[in-house]
Amino acid sequence: MEDWQSQVSAAAHQLVTARRVAIFTGAGVSKESGIATFRESDGAWTRYDPRVYATLDGFHRYPEQVWQWYNWRRQEILKAGPNPAHRGLAELETLFPQVVVITQNIDGLHQRAGSTTVLELHGSFQRFRCSADCRGHPTPLPEPPLDLPAPPPCPFCGAPTRPDVVWFGERLPTEVWEQAMEEVLQCDAMLVVGTSGVVEPAASLPRLALQQRALVIEVNPEPTPLTARVPFHLSGPAGTLIPALVAAVRHEQAGAPGS
């Protein structure tokens, strides 16, 4: 079996010819920044019931409890910073004509690392909206202070303010999803980094890229349902492998004719 350096070099050799690169990321990217994942054996859903903390019904039944949990999550995210994987993915914008990040994460670390085009499929911890969507979907509201013990009322209708994140049973934001689909349809390479590949409909995006004959490179410490279908599975932490891949692409570009 090839060592990971050889695999990275081989992946970079093919990636270097890309013009449009889509990057699809999940919780594994931010885990190395100290932000707990949700689905792993030590993830948040092993300690907190997602039926309470990640559904609209749970929010309506336990608004203060859910609100305070998200306040705690906000504090944890604000303490965290981008890791080498986030920074390496942002650096790819200097190497390819067009790069877009499509993320399932809500932490904003891609933007803080310098990525300029980020499509947030599952929303953002920094955005809030009316839980009744009284003025359309969604009704955006100002970011409340972290020390509020209960959700403030919507200034338009009085319904509780909720985080603008996608909970179980909710649809992805239509405009963001359609833009993500369009980016995948047009890309000639996709990096799939730190995602389990089981959360639909987001998990369908790498499959769509494969159908379009794009080069798909997976970066994940563990095999996923996607692994057997991709030409490159780089096994290991994203914080190590993404900077190595960026360096290998730079090396390939430096050796290209006319460089």
Task: Give the domain CATH number at 136.
Answer: 3.30.1600.10
8-46 pLDDT, tens digit per residue, is 999 999 999 999 999 999 999 999 998 877 655 555 656
Residue 57 — pLDDT band, cuts 50, 70, 90? very high
Same domain, residue pair 47 and 106 = no
Instruction: Scan for tokens 């290209």, then name that residue.
Output: 256
Instruction: List the domain range (segments joined by +) for residue 226.
Output: 1-34+82-122+172-259
Q: Do residues 60 and 28 share a domain?
A: no
Domain count across the chain: 2
Are 247 and 20 in contact by the 8 Å Cβ rule? The answer is no
Q: What is the model's pLDDT at position 1?
A: 39
pLDDT, position 257:
59
Going by pLDDT thresholds of 50, 70 and 90, the confidence category of residue 121 is very high
pLDDT of residue 39: 59
Annotated catalytic residues are 122
What whole-number distance in Å separates Cα of residue 55 and Cα of residue 49?
10
Letter string b/e over residues 15-35, b meaning 16 or more CB atoms within 10 A of that residue's CB: bbebebbbbbbbbbbbbbbeb
Regarding whether 235 and 115 lie in a shared domain, the answer is yes
**Percentage of residues of the chain with pLDDT beyond 70:** 94
